């Protein structure tokens, strides 16, 4: 019986060893499942954050779409108004008047340029005469200084 009991104890010990191995494998699988769960949690959080961001972008785009719709309406109204104005306006007449004004302005600018050139020549001639008169005045003053003082007093100079 001792042999039977020894065999039974060994068999029980082997079963405990097998159970221990099975438990180790189970622990590894549970760790793997937990890691997978953690990854899924992170993925879920990222997905939720992305969903939130997409919703915000969609809201902003919706707002911008409304503003763009208003802008398009304003531009359409402006284009219609411009078309109506163009229909009622004699552009050929305006163009002729602008041409006349342009010709007149060119003529007036040419006259002004000619007048400026004349004024510059007169100014240059006047400066030359002034310098000549100053030189002559200085010569006369120098000659007067050579006249004796008694004679200058007699002449009232």
Task: State pLDDT tens for residues 21-41.
Answer: 999 999 999 998 888 888 888
Q: Quick one: how many helices (H) and strands (E) in the chain?
A: 3, 0
Query: Could you report the per-residue pLDDT of 118-146, keeping only the tens digit for each?
Result: 988 888 889 889 888 899 888 888 887 88
Stretch 43-64: mean pLDDT, rounded? Answer: 81
- pLDDT of 5-14, one tens digit each? 767 888 888 8
* pLDDT at position 1 over 60: no
At 84-111, the pLDDT tens digits run 887 787 777 778 888 899 998 999 888 9
Written as six digits, the tokens of 44 are: 């879920």
Rounded to an integer, what distance in angstroms lies between the CA atom of residue 85 and that of residue 108? Answer: 32
User: What's the confidence (pLDDT) of residue 155?
Assistant: 74
Buried-exposed string 29-54: b where 16+ CB fall within 10 A, e elsewhere: eeeeeeeeeeeeeeeeeeeeeeeeee
* Range among 21-25, 52-56, 71-75 rated most confident: 21-25
pLDDT at 18: 93
- In our burial notation (b when 16+ CB lie closer than 10 A, e otherwise), range 100-120 reads eeeeeeeeeeeeeeeeeeeee
pLDDT at 27: 92
């Amino acid at each position: 019986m001792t042999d039977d009991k020894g065999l039974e104890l060994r068999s029980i010990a082997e079963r405990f060893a097998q159970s221990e191995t099975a438990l180790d494998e189970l622990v590894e699988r549970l760790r793997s499942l937990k890691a997978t769960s953690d990854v899924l949690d992170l993925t879920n959080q990222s997905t939720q954050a992305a969903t939130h961001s997409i919703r915000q972008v969609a809201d902003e785009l919706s707002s911008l779409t409304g503003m763009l719709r208003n802008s398009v309406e304003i531009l359409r109204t402006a284009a219609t108004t411009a078309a109506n104005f163009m229909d009622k306006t004699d552009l050929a007449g305006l163009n002729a008047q602008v041409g006349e004004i342009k010709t007149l302005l060119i003529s007036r600018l040419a006259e002004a340029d000619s007048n400026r050139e004349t004024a510059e020549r007169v100014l240059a001639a006047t400066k030359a005469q002034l310098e000549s008169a100053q030189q002559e005045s200085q010569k006369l003053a120098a000659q007067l200084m050579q006249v004796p003082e008694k004679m200058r007093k007699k002449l009232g100079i």
